[in-house]
Amino acid sequence: MKRILLLFLSVLISASAFAQKRYDQIKYPELNEFKKADVEEFTLDNGITFFLVEDKELPLIRVNVTVRTGGLLEPEDKAGLASLTGSVMREGGSVNYPADELNELLENKSAYISTYIGFGSGGASMNLLKEDFNELLPVFVDVIQNPDFPEDKIELEKIQTKSSIARRNDNPQSIASREFQKLIYGEDTPYTTQTEYATLDAITREDLVDFHDQAFVGNNMMIGVIGDFDTSEMKRKLEEAFGSLDAGTETNLLYPDIKYDYPSTVNLVDKPDVTQSTVFVGHIGGLRENPDYAALQLLNEVLSSGFSGRLMQTVRTDLGLAYAVFGNYSSNINYPGIFYVGVMTKSSTTAEAIDAMLVEVKKLQDEPVGKEELAAAKDRFLNSLVFRYDSKNKILNERISNEYNGLPSDYFDQYVEDLKKVSSADIQRVAKQYLKPEQVQILVVGNAAEIGDQLDKYGTVNEVDITIPTPDSGEEEVAGDATQGKALLDKMSAAILGNAKPESIQVKGTVSQVTPMGNMDIGTDVNYNYAEFSMTAEMNTPQGVMTLELKDGSGKIKMMGQEQPLPPTATGPMYAEFETDYLNVSLKKDQFSAEFIGTEKIGGKDFPILRISGDNTVTFVLDPDTFLPAKSRSSSFNPQKGANVESVTEYSDWKEVDGFKYAFKQISMEDGTKTSETVVESVSVN
Amino acid sequence: MNTTKYVKTLLILLVVFVAVSSTTSAQNLEEFEKKVTEFTLDNGLHFIIIERHDAPVVSFYTHVDVGGIDEPKGNTGIAHIFEHLAFKGDDYVGTTNWKEEQKVIDKMDAAYRSWLYESYKTVPDSAVLNSKWEEFKSLQEKAKSYVKNNEYSEIIDRNGGTGVNASTGSDMTDYYLSLPSNKIELWFSLESGRFLTPTFREFYVEKEVVREERKMRTESSPTGRLFEEFLAVAFTAHPYGRPVVGWNSDITATSIQDAKEFYKKYYVPSNITIGIAGDVDPKQAKKLAETYFGKMPGKGVESPPVTTKEPEQRGERRFDMVETSQPVLMIGYHGVSETDPDFEALSLLNRVLYSGRTSIMYKSLVEDKKLAQQIQYADGFPGTKDPGLAVILALPNSGVDLDTLELAIYDEIENVKEGGITQDQLDRVRTNLRANTIRGLANNMGLAVNFVNTHVSQGDWRDVFNQLDRYEAVTVEDLVEVANKYFIKKHRTVGRIVNAES
């Protein structure tokens, strides 16, 4: 009986040990002790420092090279050089392992090698199965030491980079963070340098080779190795593989100062294809080396630490104004960070969300953080510290990052101690000292029509122009002979017009357009009015009749009963072509300046070249016998290609119509490739 | 596939002979047999516990076998709204007085529904609309007075929780969290609380948050708009054609009552699988599971399956979106579900075509012809539970015509259909598949997610490794066969973003 009772009791006890509890009734056991990974450090004669950590959980090895270099070092007129160097190192293959061979070798073994150069550091890494280590280590070293930089891969990377330049205004978040950085740091600092078509064009293979040779030397390198290996054996292999690298000179990374005088500005990027405003509000931030760093980090915790932060609690949970709301007083190691609060909210609540965020910023200055809120903020930080070291890889990475940034090895422990001591008063003091909610810059990327006048109350709204700059034509502007030019233009005009003065004509014909699917014939019926400088073109396309109208400086397109205005970027090139039409130039010859710029040999004869400039520029190559244009040439920027395109039109089959001459056959080419052929059936004067 | 059994056996033998480390999967499986503990509670809730004692941390993964495809008509987005609400706490966490709060919530919902029904009338009475709306608003304010703002998240954060997150897809709803390993019981307390006694707290404010999420991911993003349009065009009958985030009018139409019905149908034990990986004692975990989840109701209840099958497509579907952003090309072919015998072959074929620098498309379109800036693919889009799409997303380089890019892609596909695949290419993608499976075993959350998802889709977590053997069995001939079977014009949808200026 007694035994049964005891058994019963023990059941009761164990049951109560596992009774359901509310979160505040649970007693937590001590956290299991665990040993942080040991890091073995050694340095070679050429300056490379290695950090090794054994991790035998899986049969893998990873090697990570950190290199002291960065986009910070590239000249402004060659922006993009660092990043291009970093990618072509890998994409172009090495001297001993050309790209195709390298790719197959690695992918056959499911091994990865990558290289990069970022803003303030560069590097290379390799990730492989341990059984392939001996074979692939020399390959990795060759990629680092002897990249081949073949011209065709440089060209490929440039094409790809240009394509991403063309796409850089597609995403509202990336526009917002890019433009906000420009507002804070200014346009002319390395912190905001932007790769453009022109800066890419200026980069040569020589530049890449030099940039690489300066950067990837022993004295700039730290290498972390982690995985399933034996340390002493690994040391020997690394010494052998990396020992031959040049020591070189350690790169000095100089971060220029920033002048910031806390302006208050309001800025808008109009993006008509969005329904939501992406907003950043803020000013300059601080440096990591600051006795108030710990207090500022706790301020960040209170303001914006996920769902526990005040911004999320108010703007998202209480007000339902946003899915994403964020903020941070950021402190960088080498140059000042940025203080910002930001939100993505529907156009109609743009100002409401900005105000709600600013209220939270001011509250940090006006009221001390409550005891419980401060304790919770510290607990969040301290209790999650274990995740900082929960893998050997994180420990290794932190060690290398500290070394790279010149931070003492105990810097993080010191920070934890500082953080524990921060008081409510400290947070309020740093909020007052470092945050200036009255002197912020506001940036909104959104739909201006939907936003309306909401931003006016913050000040005069600057419209930020994010148009992507087009490169210069690249042609040397040689001043031609104006006197000879004038005489040639007179001759051309007389040859074309005779005694006629056609103000408005109708041209019917067929355009045979070259497309990837073969030639497509389009019947056209165009009315040109040179007096009014307007035109209407009817085109019989396979999709139906399409009407294009250019008038009063704008244009529209009609198709299947639908009418659509054309953006200026589309009508611009059309007007340019209309302006430089040989009839228009001949009729209005006094409105153009003309230069004779040389001759071109065609069929053994010298054809004079006439450059005509109005709002646009065109060159005509004239037949020396008739003074009719044999061809015209113009160069314009093609936003789709991200480059200037040279258009050439060849004229032939000149026929007389009502006293003037018209070319009944025209062949158009772009960059040397035929794009269309036009055969005119009839021309009549209206 | 119609290779005869004899030939197939021979080919399997040959492949096993050629493949260097196909034994890895067997070794891994043996090792994991020792680390994995599985159990199912009486009510049908399944747990997979994976021991990994390297560091004192644990990851928790709750997988609910419900997603966008299970939503009733008129309530698209409800699975996702429910996922958001799961962060509002339970009858203890997040409230100062649940008994009172609950009454107000019910009244508030009734007021909202009467406002809603009035608004749907042919001629709504504006006086009724106004008064119902005012009533709803004032009840909403009253309900709010009981709320402890974000208490659920605060408890987790304060206890050192990281990676608190959730996601809703077409096929599934997932909840993630990692904690220091001495806080395991906290997870059991909070997780059982929110799924056993959901409160639907702050429902209507949260719907506005969801609408902002929709604006961010879909409406204000060119590719977001393209994806939504693409699925709507590619699927005529199957709910894969509907957006997981929901149509705007459906978000408006969804009430707490709808959400409660949804919960009752789909948040039942047999429909939930939980993975716990890290520094965890499986015996203790089992006791805690019984204590906290044992009384979850719904034993024997099966969630209704999706019964609609997508009918065979009768012709190619195409659409262009004229936008101010740069051009994008998306092509999708109807494919198979993850349990289809062709799944492995189709998946390997896609890797041969698109995965890595040596893949057919990368070499041809990115490197040689320089037509594409980027080319990406997905095997099962938007899901794999039912037959989804094999999709290609290609960004043309500047100046490259979308037609040129599209035709170049078809050229490569046609070439593959005519047999343009080598044994080397197939072996290479298999090697990568195997090695990447191993790489995925190195972190707690990855393990929990991988093992649970495999259990749900294939019936056994061991299939993480066993599936590799099925991949070994696929031959070059199989790849050519599936290419011809699935990559056909009339089963294709093509969606494009066309730049307005070009």
Check CB contact of A171 with chain B, cutoff 8 Å: yes
B304 domain residue, yes or no: no
**pLDDT tier for residue B389 given thresholds of 50, 70 and 90:** very high
B12 domain residue, yes or no: yes
B283 to chain A, closest Cα gap in Å:
12
B19 domain residue, yes or no: yes
Helices (H) then strands (E): counts for chain B: 19, 11
pLDDT digit string, tens, across residues A49-100: 999 999 999 999 999 999 999 999 999 999 999 999 999 999 999 999 999 9
Task: Report the CATH number that the domain containing residue B224 is assigned in CATH.
Answer: 3.30.830.10
Mutate to test the interface with A, among B398, B406, B433, B438 (most CBs of A within 10 A): B398
pLDDT digit string, tens, across residues A147-156: 999 999 999 9
A146 to chain B, closest Cα gap in Å:
20
**pLDDT tier for residue B7 given thresholds of 50, 70 and 90:** very low
Mean pLDDT, chain B, rounded, equals 93
Q: Which of A169-183, A523-537, B148-162 has the lowest mean pLDDT?
A: A523-537
**pLDDT tier for residue A389 given thresholds of 50, 70 and 90:** confident
Q: Are A220 and A251 in contact (CB under 8 A)?
A: yes
Say whether pLDDT at A279 is over 90: yes
A465 to chain B, closest Cα gap in Å:
16
What's the rounded mean pLDDT across residues A562-591? 84
Say whether pLDDT at B141 is over 90: yes
Superfamily of domain A265-391+409-463: Metalloenzyme, LuxS/M16 peptidase-like (3.30.830.10)
Q: Does B438 lie in the same domain as B342?
A: yes
Q: What is the pLDDT of residue A207?
A: 98
Q: What are phi and psi of A411, to 5 degrees?
A: -60, -40
Which pair of structure tokens corresponds to residue B101? 């709060």
The class of domain A40-170+192-242 in CATH terms is alpha beta
Q: Are A364 and B137 in contact (CB under 8 A)?
A: no
Per-residue b or e along B457-490, where b marks 16 or more CB atoms closer than 10 Å to that residue's CB: beeebbbbbebbeebbebbbbbbbbbbebbbeee
Rounded-to-integer distance, Cα B397 and Cα B365, Å: 10
Residue scoring higher pLDDT (A376 or A501): A376
Q: Does B263 lie in the same domain as B335?
A: no
Mutate to test the interface with A, among B226, B501, B502 (most CBs of A within 10 A): B501
The residues, any chain, with a CB within 8 Å of residue B457's CB and separated by 6 or more, are B338, B339, B384, B385
B346 domain residue, yes or no: yes
Please tell me chain A's helix, strand, coil percentages from 3-state DSSP, rounded to the nearest 5.
40, 30, 30
B106 domain residue, yes or no: no
User: Of B233, B266, B293, which marks where a domain is finished?
Assistant: B293
Q: Which of A274, A384, A638 sits opposite B220 (nearest CB)?
A: A274
Check CB contact of A76 with chain B, cutoff 8 Å: no
Q: Does B334 lie in the same domain as B288?
A: no
Check CB contact of A20 with chain B, cutoff 8 Å: yes
Residue scoring higher pLDDT (A541 or A640): A541
Contact (CB<8Å) B205/A317? yes
Check CB contact of A37 with chain B, cutoff 8 Å: no
**pLDDT tier for residue A572 given thresholds of 50, 70 and 90:** confident
Check CB contact of A274 with chain B, cutoff 8 Å: yes
**pLDDT tier for residue A471 given thresholds of 50, 70 and 90:** confident
Which residues of chain B make contact with A382, given a CB cutoff of 8 A?
160
pLDDT digit string, tens, across residues B176-190: 999 999 999 999 999
Mutate to test the interface with B, among A22, A319, A383, A556 (most CBs of B within 10 A): A383
Please tell me chain B's helix, strand, coil percentages from 3-state DSSP, rounded to the nearest 5.
55, 15, 30
**pLDDT tier for residue A639 given thresholds of 50, 70 and 90:** low
Q: What is the pLDDT of residue A90?
A: 98
Q: Does B164 lie in the same domain as B70?
A: yes
Host domain of residue B257 = 46-95+147-293
Q: What is the pLDDT of residue B25?
A: 65
Which of 339-358 (A) contact B at CB < 8 A? 344-346
Check CB contact of A552 with chain B, cutoff 8 Å: no
Contact (CB<8Å) B373/A379? no
Closest residue on chain B to A301 (Cα)? B157
**pLDDT tier for residue A561 given thresholds of 50, 70 and 90:** confident
Which residues of chain B make contact with A323, given a CB cutoff of 8 A?
209-210, 212-213, 216
Mean pLDDT, chain A, rounded, equals 91
User: Of B261, B293, B325, which marks where a domain is finished?
Assistant: B293
Q: What is the pLDDT of residue B208?
A: 96
pLDDT digit string, tens, across residues A423-461: 999 999 999 999 999 999 999 999 999 999 999 999 999
Total of domains in chain B: 2
Which of 608-647 (A) contact B at CB < 8 A? 638-643
Q: Are B193 and B93 in contact (CB under 8 A)?
A: yes
What's the rounded mean pLDDT across residues A499-505? 88
Check CB contact of A166 with chain B, cutoff 8 Å: yes
Closest residue on chain A to B286 (Cα)? A18
User: Of B293, B324, B348, which marks where a domain is finished?
Assistant: B293
**pLDDT tier for residue B18 given thresholds of 50, 70 and 90:** very low
Pair type for strands A331-332 and A286-287: parallel
A482-685 has the same fold as A265-391+409-463: no
In which residue are the tokens 């260097």 written?
Answer: B20
Residue closest to B435 by CA, chosen among B351, B379, B336: B351
Say whether pLDDT at B62 is over 50: yes
Say whether pLDDT at B138 is over 60: yes
Which pair of structure tokens corresponds to residue A368? 């001390």
Contact (CB<8Å) A57/B54? yes
Q: Using DSSP, state whether A438 is helix, strand or coil.
A: coil
Q: What is the pLDDT of residue A344?
A: 97
The neighbour count for residue A500, using CB atoms within 10 Å, is 15
Say whether pLDDT at A5 is over 90: no
Q: In sequence order, which ranges of A46-110 are alpha helices (DSSP H)?
A: 81-91, 99-108
pLDDT digit string, tens, across residues B220-276: 999 999 999 999 999 999 999 999 999 999 999 999 999 999 999 999 999 999 999
Q: Using DSSP, state whether B322 is helix, strand or coil.
A: strand
Rounded-to-integer distance, Cα A462 and Cα A267, Å: 5
Q: Does B191 lie in the same domain as B268?
A: yes
Residue closest to A360 by CA, chosen among A350, A372, A369, A348: A369
Q: What is the pLDDT of residue A554?
A: 85
Q: Does B462 lie in the same domain as B423?
A: yes
The neighbour count for residue A228, using CB atoms within 10 Å, is 16
Q: Using DSSP, state whether A519 is helix, strand or coil.
A: strand
**pLDDT tier for residue A15 given thresholds of 50, 70 and 90:** very low
Check CB contact of A519 with chain B, cutoff 8 Å: no
In which residue are the tokens 């009733």 written?
Answer: B72
Say whether pLDDT at A634 is over 90: no
Q: What is the pLDDT of residue A13?
A: 46
Q: What is the pLDDT of residue A473?
A: 53
Q: What is the pLDDT of residue B6?
A: 37
Q: Does B352 lie in the same domain as B232?
A: no
Topology at the third CATH level for domain A482-685: outer membrane lipoprotein receptor (LolB), chain A (2.50.20)
Say whether pLDDT at B356 is over 70: yes
B306 to chain A, closest Cα gap in Å:
30
Residue scoring higher pLDDT (A641 or B162): B162
- Return the domain boundaries, chain A: 40-170+192-242, 265-391+409-463, 482-685
pLDDT digit string, tens, across residues A577-628: 888 899 999 999 888 989 888 888 888 888 999 999 888 889 999 999 999 9
**pLDDT tier for residue A470 given thresholds of 50, 70 and 90:** confident
Q: Does B86 lie in the same domain as B17?
A: no
Which residues of chain A make contact with B426, given a CB cutoff of 8 A?
none
Q: Which of A23, A104, A164 sits opposite B373 (nearest CB)?
A: A164
Which residues of chain A make contact with B364, given a CB cutoff of 8 A?
none
**Residue B199: which H helix or E strand, with range?**
none
Which of 387-406 (A) contact B at CB < 8 A? 387, 389-391
Q: Does B422 lie in the same domain as B318?
A: yes
A639-642 CB contacts, 8 Å cutoff, 24+ apart: A639/A166, A639/A468, A639/A470, A639/A569, A639/B398, A639/B501, A640/A166, A640/B398, A640/B399, A640/B499, A640/B501, A640/B502, A641/B398, A641/B399, A642/A162, A642/A163, A642/A165, A642/A166, A642/A197, A642/B398, A642/B399
pLDDT digit string, tens, across residues B417-474: 999 999 999 999 999 999 998 898 889 999 999 999 999 999 999 999 999 999 999 9
Tell me, what DSSP letter sits at residue A563? Answer: E
Contact (CB<8Å) B55/A390? yes
